[in-house]
Structures are given as C-alpha cells and as structure tokens.
Amino acid sequence: MDTRVFQRLRGIRQLAMAHLLYPGTLHTRFDHSVGTMHVASRICGRLKEFGAIDQRGTRIVRLAALLHDIGHGPFSHVSEFLLDRHYDRDKVGDLGEAAKIHEKITLQIIRQNQEIGHVLTPKTRTAIVDLLSDTGQRDFRRDVVSGPLDADKMDYLKRDSYFAGVEYGRYDLEKIVDACRVHKRGSESFLAFDHEGVYALEQLVMAKYHMEQQVYFHRVRSITDAMLVRGLTLAIRNDDDTACRLFKYDGSAAFLDTYLSFDDEELLQALRKSTDTKARAIFSRLTDRRLFKQVCDLPLGAVRDALTRSSLSRLNAESPEARCLEEHIGEKLSADPDFVIVTRWSVKNPTYRAAGFGIEPGEIIILDRHGTPMAIGDFQDLIFYLNKTAASSESIHVYAPRDEWNDPRRTSGAQRSQCEETVKELILSHSN
C-alpha cells in the first residue's frame, strides 16, 4: 500500500466527476481498493469455517482484491473507454470482446513494477495475476474478487451510497457474508450463497438498480462523462501530446511510466492547457461547471417504426453514425458539431462503462437446503423479479451547449420542449 503506484489511486476518484452533482463523492480508488480487500477478507473468513480455503489462499485473495483496480487511469471508466478505442492493436494484439484494457494494464503493473517486486515474491505475483486473469475456468477464489457478485461490488455500493449522501445503496452485508459458500462441480468451483441469504441478495440487486437510476446514470453524471470523453477524443484526434501518450497503449514500459504519472487533477489541468482549442474549452467548462445540457431524451420504446428503432439500438458513442447525426443537429441548433454529443444510453449497457460493471442476477448461484444450485429467478416471491421490466430501457441522449437555459428569464420550458421535439424529429428522419 505504501508503493507510489498504489498511492497514486488516492488521486483517482471512484465516480469521476460525479462531485459536480453529489459534492461528497470525492472518495477514491484507493479507498475502494482497501474496502474491497476488507470485504474479501470477511468472505474468506467465512469460507475458512467450512474448510474451503487456507491462510495462504486467503492472503492471495486479499492481495488480488487490494490490487484489482491498480490499472485504472484518470477518471476511471472514462479512461477505459478511450483506451479500448485507441490502443495499438498491432503491438498489443486484439483483446477480444470480453477483455478490459485496464485489467491488462493492471496485470502488467503487478508483473513489472519494481516497487511491487520489492514487496511481493515472484511466486506471489504470479498467483495474483492468475487470480485476476480470466482463464475460462471458474474458481471460487476468483469469484470473490471478480465474479457475478464479488467483494468489489459489495464495497462500492455501500461506499458510493455513503459518499453521495443517499440511502439507495444500503443492503445487509452481514447476512450475505454469512451466506457465502463454495459449490464444486467437476474441476470448477463457484462462490455460492445459502438460500437463507436470498432476501439479502435481492436487497443488494435492488440497491444496485436504484443507485444506477439515481447516482451512476443520473443525467448530470452522464453529461460530465460524455464531456470528458469528447474533450479527450478531440485532443487525441488533433495529436495533443498528453492525451496521445496517455491513451494510446502499446504495452511498453515507457507508456506505463507516463500512465502512472497522471491522476484526475493532473490530467484535468493538462487538458485545460491543451494545444487543441476545443478540448481546452471543454475541460475549462468542466472545471467551471458550465456543463452541456441534455437537449433530447428519445426512448427507443417510443419509436414505432421497427427498422428505425433497430437502427438506433445499434448507435454507438463516438462512431461515424453518431458523428453524422451530430453534424445535422449542430446545423439545426447553430452549434459546433464537435460540441454536440449523441449517445445511446441503457441501464444494461451504459455508454462509458465496461461490460462487467453490472450485476447479472441470473448468474448468482444459490444453494437450497440440500445443496442443489438454484438461480435467483427460481424464487418466485422476490419483488425484484416481479418488477424487472424497467431494467432494459434504452434511449438516445443528445447533449449540447445551451448556457442560456441557466437563466429562466431567457428561455421558457416551452422553448426547451420545442428544442427537444425538433431534435427528436431530426434523429427519426435521419435514421429512416
């Protein structure tokens, strides 16, 4: 924990720029990493009572939990989105659909960082890397750190809820830890949960859903993420030295040295002085909290034409298709298209989050009183499964500068509604 590479996490906020909405969300990846190690320790302590894990196994799980986020870049998941788009595929190779670039960087840091090498033996580092790597073979120890319901998720829900000052992330951690079990099937093993903990598990799943609606995917939070990505995309496109060195991962030691020298604040200040004037303008806006406005929220469920709906459901942020729409909307709104951002938003597939960010309740293994594995959906009386239809909604969001909307004397609610209808019509007509 006293290595510089780990202390760096003190400068990377857990929720990027969510503090512009919830002022208390200044907690960091450092806090979360220590908390994840603590929860993993609690789970291992419970499993040790059943003889499922020994002291050395517990130590490796604890260290893996402590180091699981050491490869995160500035602004966390925003960095991950950009790294995925801009890494050097010729030098690194194709990572595949399921791989996450920050996890690859995490493994490289653990293997190669000299400070970590002075603290941990090569054998221990290899064991940690194996535990953090996706081998395709299920192992309950890996599930504790990175599984369908792991120590990572258990920690960040409570932590994010506390610092945001909301109650949505509360659940019965004690009951869930008490319910932890190991289920073996052939050569594989799984972190499972006793059936008596099923209501605490449901409570956690619902807490995650409510945190998504109220904190993680709040409109203002989504706008700040979109502005971060657009500002960095413009900087990279126009060969800003800092942005290019930080997000064009090539697997080299030189890249890693640069990557580990930046945290949120250092990158924010560097981009405020970017050689690209538009990137500089966006990061100055973020610093001063002069945010873009949401000028359109188009639910795909409200689009009657099936072909149009299908086309919009495939729209990706920062894609040529999105860019084409941004140009048309910018012309209509008399705005620079570089300052118009079109994204497809979904709870299950948030724009700037990795695929493993959510909790898939169907993958959680619950053991009945006879030790038979069941899915959470087999418990028909759970409220979550009686009310689960809203979780798959998708929308097209459009953000653009509309500073005059800050003054109600200059823009009425009717004018804003008219602007949104105009943008909706443009999107629908363009997608036909």
99 in the same domain as 3: yes
Does residue 51 come out as left (phi exceeding 0), alpha (psi in the -120 to 50 range) or beta? left
| C-alpha pair distances (Å), 173 with each of 97, 105, 168, 304, 362 | 32, 31, 14, 43, 20
Find the Cα–Cα–Cα–Cα dihedral 398, 25, 69, 232, rounded to 10°.
40
Domain boundary among 288, 306, 338: 288
Structurally, the chain folds into a number of domains equal to 2
CA pair distance 188, 56, nearest whole angstrom: 20
Residue 238, domain member (yes or no):
yes
The average pLDDT across 40-44 equals: 98
The pLDDT of residue 244 is above 60: yes
261 in the same domain as 148: yes
322 in the same domain as 201: no
Domain boundary among 244, 273, 288: 288
Residue 407, domain member (yes or no):
yes
376 in the same domain as 262: no
Q: pTM score, two decimals?
A: 0.91
Tell me the pLDDT tens digit for each residue of 48-69: 999 999 999 999 999 999 999 9
174 in the same domain as 97: yes
Residue 10, domain member (yes or no):
yes
135 in the same domain as 47: yes
What DSSP state is assigned to residue 360? -
382 in the same domain as 235: no
Domain limits for position 387: 292-346+368-432
391 in the same domain as 272: no
The average pLDDT across 399-415 equals: 89
Tell me the pLDDT tens digit for each residue of 258-297: 999 999 999 999 999 999 999 999 999 999 999 999 999 9
302 in the same domain as 276: no
